[in-house]
Chains A and B, each alone.
Chain A
Amino acid sequence: MGHRLRGAAAITGLGMTPMGRIYGKSATELAADAVRAAIADAGLKKSDIDGLLINPGITGMTGGGIGLNLQNYLGMDEMRLVNHMNAAGSTAAQMIQYATMAIDAGMATHVVCVFADNPLKEGGSSGAAYGGAARNPSRPKGMAGLTAAAGYFGANTPYALAARRHMALYGTTQDQLGTIAVGQRQWATMNPLAQMREQITLEDYHASRWIIEPLHLLDCCLVSNGAVAVIVSPPDRAASMAQPAVYIHGMGQGHPGDHNAAGSDWETETGGRLAAKTAFGMAGIGPEDIDVCELYDCYTYTVLVTLEDYGFCKKGEGGPFVEDGKLGPGGSLPTNTGGGELSGYYMWGMTPISEAIIQARGQAGERQVAKHDLVLTTGNGGSLSYHAALVLSPYPGRS
C-alpha cells in the first residue's frame, strides 16, 4: 500500500507565453494569456476551473505583480479554491502540492496554478529588478542595516557566499560550476522557447565577467518577462483528457531557517535534503530511479548543491559528480533539459516544472529524453531558504 497522495492528482494543462524581453503587456495580462493557453491545452472550458492559485514573481515585491484580482480579471466565478501564495522560488511546486491535496480532499476539481512576471523594462538592464536595497534611499534601521553597510546587495551575494563555502570545504572548482552552465546551454540550443541559444564553451564561461566572485555572469540566471500556468486535475479524469497526463507521485518541502543562527549550514545543505526524504518517500523511490532532473537553477551552484541534497552523490562530491558532463545532452543524468533558468527562461519555480511536464509528456522534440518515467523537479527560493519538490511521471501512481 503506497502513500495516499501518490498519484492523487495529475497535471493536465500547460500554458506558456513567449519568454524574455517581451514588452507591452502587464503581468496580469501575461497571466491571463498563460491561463487561457493552459485551459485550451487541457481541452477544458473556463467554467470547468474551480481553483486558482496565484504566484507573482519579483514584481509582486517591486510593484505591478499579479494579485488576487486575477480571478475577477479572468471572470472566474463559483470558485471553490483561491489563494495568492508566496514562498519565493519554491511557490510554484507548492501551489501544485496544495492543489493536489485539495483535489484529494474533494475541495476542488480543476485547479489552475499561475506564475507571471514582467520585471524587464524596455531599455532597462536585466539586473535592475533585483538590486533591492541598493536603490533604497533611506537609512536601514538597526542591526539589519549591517547588510547594506557591508555592500551586501542583491540575490547574487548570498549565492556567491554559499558557493564559496562549498569550494572551501570540499574543493569544488570553478570549472565544475562552469560545466553546469555549458551543459545547460547545450540543452537550450534545442529549446525554441529558450532565450540563450548560442552554444558556449568553458572558455566563454571563464571569460564572462565576474558578478561577485566566485560567480561569473554565466553562473547566474536570466531575468524574464512571461507567464506559465499549469492545471492540476483528478487522476481518473486526467487519463481521458486532451494531453498525456503527468501524474504527481511525490511531493515534499524543506525550509532550513535563519542563515545567521548558530549551527546553520545553509550554504552547503539546503531544504532539498528534507524535501527529498518526503518526496521520494511518498513516491516510494530513491534518486537512482530518477530519469530526468529539472532543478531550480538560479545559479550553477544551486544545481550542484541540490544534486547532493537529493542523494545523487554524497555531500561535497557534487563537483566531481557533474564534471564529466553527465547533466548535458547524452549524459547519464539529463538535467535542466530546456536550458533551465540559466539559459532558457526565468519563471521562478515554473521554469523547472514546465520543462518537467514537457519531458514527462514526451513532447520535448529534439531534446526529448528517451526514458522519462520519473522526473524530479525542484523549486528553491530566497537565499537557499525555501525549497519544494515534485516527482512526476507519465504513469498513474495509483493502481
Chain B
Amino acid sequence: MADAPTEKPLPEPDEASQPFWDSAERGEFMLMKCSDCGAFRLPSRQHCDRCLSTEYTWERASGRGTVRTFGIMHQRYHPGFVPDLPYNVTIVELDEGPRLPTNLVGVSNAAIRVGMPVVVDWERHSDVTLPKFRPV
C-alpha cells in the first residue's frame, strides 16, 4: 500500500499523538491507558474521557478488533479518493474498547459485515503510518 495516492489528506502528527505514529512505524499499535480507571483511549485528549484523569501510560494494544459499522462511499468529496470509488468507510472497535474510523483492505465491499473480526494492516506514508484493517 506504499503507493497510495499522496493527495489523500494525511494526518499531521502533533505533540500528543507523536508516540502513536512513532510506534505505528514500527508496526506497534499503542494506546493510552488511564492510570486511575484503566480505560484505554486513542491519544486524542489530554485526559481520560471516562474519569478525566490526566495520568496515563502507553500500552501496546492487540491491533485486533471488529467491524462496528461501515458504509460504501459513492459520493465524490475529495479528489484523492476518486480513484477508489466506491470505497468502504469503516468503524473498527478495538478489542481494548476505543473505536476509530478506517478502511478495510483485502476484502470486497460486498463481503464486509458488521461484527467481522479484523486486524491492523499498516499503510506506510513518508511521515505517517496509517492503521487500516483486514479481515482475520
Point out residues on A near B: beta carbons under 8 Å: 127, 131, 133-134, 136, 139-154, 156-157, 160-162, 164-165, 168-169, 209-215, 258-262, 267
Contact call A212/B130, Cβ cutoff below 8 A: no
Chain B 24-37: CB-based contact to A (< 8 A → 1; otherwise 0): 00000000000000
In whole angstroms, how far apart are the Cα atoms of A127 and B100 in the complex? 25
Residue among A133, A143, A148, A210 making CB contact with B72, cutoff 8 Å: A210
CB distance from A298 to the nearest CB of B (A): 15
Contact call B100/A146, Cβ cutoff below 8 A: yes
B60 within 8 A of A: no
CB distance from B112 to the nearest CB of A (A): 10
Q: How many cross-chain pairs have Cβ atoms below 8 Å apart between A and B?
A: 132
Listed A/B pairs (11) with beta-carbon separation below 8 Å:
A140-B11, A142-B16, A146-B11, A148-B11, A149-B11, A151-B78, A160-B71, A160-B89, A168-B69, A169-B114, A212-B74
Interface size class for chain B? 35 or more
Instruction: Determine the residue in chain B with the shortest Cβ distance to A130.
Output: B77
Interface of B is mostly: loop
Point out residues on B near A: beta carbons under 8 Å: 8-14, 16-17, 20, 39-40, 42-44, 49-50, 68-75, 77-78, 81, 84, 86-87, 89-91, 97-103, 113-115, 130-131
Residue among B11, B49, B103 making CB contact with A142, cutoff 8 Å: B11
Name the residue in B43, B72, B98 with the highest tally of chain A Cβ atoms < 10 Å from its Cβ.
Answer: B72
A160 surroundings in chain B (CB, below 8 A): 71, 89
Contact call A142/B71, Cβ cutoff below 8 A: no
In whole angstroms, how far apart are the Cα atoms of A165 and B40 in the complex? 23
Contact call B77/A153, Cβ cutoff below 8 A: yes
A142 surroundings in chain B (CB, below 8 A): 11-14, 16-17, 43-44
Contact call B12/A139, Cβ cutoff below 8 A: yes
Contact call B89/A150, Cβ cutoff below 8 A: yes
B78 surroundings in chain A (CB, below 8 A): 134, 148, 151, 153
Contact call B89/A149, Cβ cutoff below 8 A: no
Contact call B71/A214, Cβ cutoff below 8 A: yes
